[in-house]
Amino acid sequence: MKDLRSLTLEEITEYMKTIGEKGFRAKQVYEWVSKGVSSFDDMTNLSQSLIEQLKREFRLDNFKIIQTLKSEDGTIKVLGALWDENIVESVFMTYKHGNSVCVSTQVGCKMKCTFCASTLGGVIRNLTAGEILGQIYALQNMTGERVNNVVLMGSGEPLDNYDETLKFIKLSTDEKGLNLSGRSITLSTCGLATEIRKLADERLQITLAISLHNPIEDERIQIMPITKKHNLSDLMSSVDYYIEKTGRRVTFEYALIDGVNDTERHAQALGALLKGKLVHVNLIPVNAVVENNFMPSSNNKINGFKRVLMDKYRLNTTVRRELGSDINAACGQLRNQHL
């Protein structure tokens, strides 16, 4: 069965032609899909025979929420079952500037970052564009609120699922579809330099976020094995290319781990690596993960680190407010198991 939410308007139009339906039917179906309906029977302006035909060939409700957990700060984490009973997590967060959703792009992840719970079981499969979109629809339907921002930062490496991630971006920014602005989408990668260059050529207006976490190559390899394949110089040249092609500022995510990457030496190396580039640094006090011994840096260390980047290297730097850490919903804590 195909996933209806993965189809563009053009693809639905092609399909309608093959079954002898008029073109306007495609538009009607696409509008229903974009409204996030989860049952074909809700498509009230279609004929019963077309509804039955769609039911036979397509899947619609592709992310069924099976568990919900609400944090004290209002963050909602859900576990959703995919058609094959694999389970992924999504998180709904409310900020002053609107509602954000953190979506998963793969069941598990193969990148093996040592601070991340999502990779503990390896990668099981890629999500389709429609399954990534389905997480947004499910959360909009559950909360009754519109999603304004999307971060591709749940389980999975989005650029390891390049085609479906790109299709998701195109579907979600389609003005006849969900109509998100490109700028409201943040794609977070551990540093797949080849795909970053490919993405740059798309000239999208999305925000690219690099999970850097250590500016010293020998040390980054220890926590992010992707560094063996794409060393820091390769990664930085792909970032330069991305900035040149898109004109967009790139975010560098830096999870501060007590005693591991939060020293003066790291701050200086990070400053030197990014100095003069169109970038923004996001410092994140790392969340404790039971399977390893990482602990967050002290506030003193975080502030000292920030001062070096801002005062000496003139880098735009913020400390990210973590939401949902009491329900294991903050970054690096997503995992594929029941709550």
Rule CB under 6 A: which residues touch ligand SF4?
109, 111-113, 116, 118-119, 155-157, 190, 211, 332
Give the Cα separation of 6 and 260 in Å (integer). Answer: 42
Contact (CB, 8 A) for 179 and 129: no
Chain centroid, CA 32 distance in Å = 24
CB of 224 to ligand SF4, least distance (A): 7
Question: Catalytic residue at 89?
Answer: yes
Among 93, 25, 65, 87, residue whose Cα is nearest residue 33: 25
DSSP secondary structure letter of residue 337: S
**Catalytic option among 89, 164, 195, 322:** 89
CB of 118 to ligand SF4, least distance (A): 4
Give the Cα separation of 316 and 53 in Å (integer). Answer: 54
CB of 112 to ligand SF4, least distance (A): 6
CB of 134 to ligand SF4, least distance (A): 19
| Alpha helices in the chain, H assignment, sequence order | 9-18, 23-35, 48-57, 129-143, 162-172, 193-202, 217-223, 226-229, 232-246, 264-274, 299-307
Angle between helices 129-143 and 162-172 (to 10 degrees): 40
Q: Which is nearer to ligand SF4, 75 or 104 (CB)?
A: 104
Question: Catalytic residue at 116?
Answer: no
Residues taking part in catalysis: 89, 331
